């Protein structure tokens, strides 16, 4: 795929029909894997049609790769079946935990500690998924609203070591970097600079995809990664910095809440494409 076309959008239900009818120029479309785990039905038929028109990125939210309780075999089996069906260009999930105890699922992306023990666990689970799927996966850095005491590794260092050990790629969510910096007390411009330092610490060649999204600020000052608005200017600045460091990189525009008209998503994708040219 030509680098200038290596920009995609999240394909959500409000745009299923419009995207298939209009076929705008996109490098790929992303869907959430778990939405297509059913044995059949209209959703799988829609995904089949989408995969005939575009490269597909399967982005998961439920593997819980950092869970000490281990991976859910049923979930992994369903994911493997879906991968075999649509032959996606990428498969990704998050560096988080979600499963606890006997296998209860928190239905959230909960932060993991950045320690050697956590790294060992995550690397084992990533390897297990990659072996099961027969392909490399991408692992995303998350927005976290709490942290763990006793971290011994800086977050970029943690991901550098994860990609070295497991052979996975980093799915670099630039919006998450800015959100985390804002919640650490940085104003928007300073948060962008802090996020750029994070990018500078990432090993070149390890980033396989970039995510861009919007965020919102609550009245109490907490910044939420809600994927419900246009990409903020400070996030675009960090993205431009990342492109200078890593070169043209497949990039996704995420928009999951208050989904706008398709033209709005396409305009955001065009801005990303322009910055990569």
Residue 104: per-residue pLDDT: 65
**CA 238 to centroid of chain Cα atoms:** 16
Q: Does domain 28-257 have CATH number 3.20.20.150?
A: yes
pLDDT of residue 99: 75
Contact 254, 269 (CB under 8 A): no
Specify the pLDDT at position 147: 85
User: Whole-angstrom Cα distance, residue 270 to residue 127?
Assistant: 35
List residues bridging with 97 in a β-sheet: 110
pLDDT (0 to 100) of residue 3: 42
Kindly give the confidence (pLDDT) of every residue in the chain, 277 residues in length, as a single tens digit, with 9 standing for 90 and above.
Answer: 444 459 999 999 999 999 999 999 999 999 999 999 999 889 999 999 999 999 999 999 999 999 998 999 999 999 999 999 999 999 999 999 887 776 666 566 889 999 999 999 999 999 999 999 999 999 999 999 888 889 999 999 999 999 999 999 999 999 999 999 999 999 999 999 999 999 999 999 999 999 999 999 998 989 999 999 999 999 999 999 999 999 999 999 999 999 999 999 999 999 999 999 8
| Secondary structure of the chain as H, E, C letters | CCHHHCEEEECCHHHHHHHHHHCCCCCEEEEEHHHHCCCCCHHHHHHHHHHHHCCEEEECCCCCCCCCCCCCHHHHHHHHHHHHHHCCCEEEEECCEEEECCCEEEEEEECCCCCHHHHHHHHHHHHHHHHHHCCCCEEECCCCCCCCCCCCCCHHHHHHHHHHHHCCEEEEEHHHHHHHHHHCCCCHHHHHHHHHHHHHHCCCCCEEEEEECCCEECCCCCEECCCCCCCCHHHHHHHHHHHHHHCCCCEEECCCCCCCCHHHHHHHHHHHHHHHC
Beta bridge partners of 9: 29, 253
CB 55 within 8 A of CB 28: yes
Distance of alpha carbon 112 from alpha carbon 274, whole angstroms: 35
The pTM assigned to this predicted structure is 0.95
Each domain of the chain, given as residue ranges in start order, spans 28-257
């Amino acid at each position: 795929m030509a680098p200038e076309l290596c920009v995609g959008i999240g394909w959500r239900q409000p745009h299923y029909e419009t995207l298939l009818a209009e076929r705008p120029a996109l490098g790929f479309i992303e869907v959430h894997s778990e939405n297509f785990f059913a044995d059949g039905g209209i959703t799988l038929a829609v995904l089949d049609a989408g995969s005939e028109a575009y490269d597909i990125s399967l982005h998961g939210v439920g593997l819980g790769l950092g869970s000490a309780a281990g991976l859910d075999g049923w979930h992994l089996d369903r994911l493997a079946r879906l991968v075999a069906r649509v032959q996606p260009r990428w498969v990704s999930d998050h560096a988080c935990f979600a499963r606890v105890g006997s296998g209860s699922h928190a239905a959230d992306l909960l932060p993991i500690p950045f320690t050697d023990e956590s790294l060992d666990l995550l690397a084992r689970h990533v390897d297990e998924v990659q072996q099961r799927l027969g392909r490399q996966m991408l692992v995303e850095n998350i927005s976290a609203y709490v942290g763990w005491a006793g971290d011994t590794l800086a977050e970029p260092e943690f991901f550098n070591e994860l990609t070295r050990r497991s052979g996975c790629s980093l799915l670099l969510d630039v919006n998450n970097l800015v959100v985390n910096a804002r919640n650490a007390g940085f104003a928007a411009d300073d948060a962008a600079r802090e996020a750029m330092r994070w990018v500078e610490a990432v090993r070149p060649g390890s980033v396989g995809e970039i995510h861009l999204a919007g965020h919102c600020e609550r009245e109490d000052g907490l910044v939420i990664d809600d994927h419900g608005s246009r990409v903020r200017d400070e996030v675009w600045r960090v993205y431009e910095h990342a492109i200078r460091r890593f070169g043209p990189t497949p990039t996704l525009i995420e928009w999951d809440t208050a989904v706008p008209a398709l033209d709005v998503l396409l305009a955001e994708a065009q801005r990303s494409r322009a910055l990569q040219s």
